[in-house]
């Protein structure tokens, strides 16, 4: 029998049993714990296996995870994730339109500064989505998690809004 240990994810604070699975050993380079990365992989697996989940929620899942594990995310990628979250939660855009704005933002070139991660992490983690019992529950939980992550970035909302608005072609 292998000893299991509890670990805390440096990115989001998730406390869970380490999976011990070597497939998730690369988690550190993304600022995540082994167990957090394994939980995220399981959520992604569920989304990839359902066209409804993939279409309705996948971009929010990626954005929320990246924003919670932002230390190791390249500056431009983090900025694009935050712009997409801004468009969804502040402007009320659907995820497709928000993704188009993030692509437009990314093509503009660097006209932003890296933001420091929030001092307080969101109250929800990817484990909230992982606990879903149906597709509908998965969608609801992913929205709740992504919104909590976006709220945790509140000190930077005005700056992200300015990024999203620059070069606005709408």
Domain positions in the chain? 36-165
Q: Tell me the C-alpha distance between 159 and 33, whole Å.
A: 29
H/E stretch holding 7 reads strand 6-8
65-86: b (≥16 Cβ within 10 Å) or e: bbbbbbeebeeeebbbbbbbbb
Q: Tell me the C-alpha distance between 139 and 13, whole Å.
A: 22
| pLDDT of 23 | 63
Distances (CA, A) of 151 to 9, 12, 68, 81, 142: 20, 14, 11, 14, 14
| pLDDT of 32 | 85
Q: Tell me the C-alpha distance between 156 and 56, whole Å.
A: 26
Q: Is 103:124 a contact under the CB 8 Å cutoff?
A: no
- Which ranges of the chain have pLDDT less than 70? 1-4, 19-29, 167-170
Helix, strand or coil for residue 86? helix
| pLDDT of 142 | 98
Q: Of 54, 56, 69, 76, which is closest to residue 126 (Cα–Cα)?
A: 69
């Amino acid at each position: 029998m292998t000893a299991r240990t509890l670990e805390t994810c440096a990115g989001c604070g998730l406390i869970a049993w380490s999976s011990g699975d070597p497939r998730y050993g690369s988690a550190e380079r993304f600022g995540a714990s082994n167990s957090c990365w394994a939980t995220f992989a399981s959520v992604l697996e569920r989304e990839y296996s359902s066209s409804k989940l993939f279409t309705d929620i996948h971009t929010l899942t990626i954005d929320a995870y990246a924003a919670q594990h932002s230390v190791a995310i390249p500056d431009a990628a983090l900025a694009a994730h935050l712009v997409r979250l801004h468009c969804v939660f502040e402007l009320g855009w659907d995820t497709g339109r928000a993704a188009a704005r993030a692509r437009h933002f990314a093509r503009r070139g660097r006209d932003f500064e890296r933001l420091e991660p929030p001092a307080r992490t969101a109250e929800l983690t990817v484990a909230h989505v992982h606990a879903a019992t149906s597709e509908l529950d998965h969608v609801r939980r992913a929205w709740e998690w992504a919104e909590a992550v976006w709220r945790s970035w509140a000190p930077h909302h005005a700056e992200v809004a300015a990024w999203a608005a620059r070069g606005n072609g709408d």
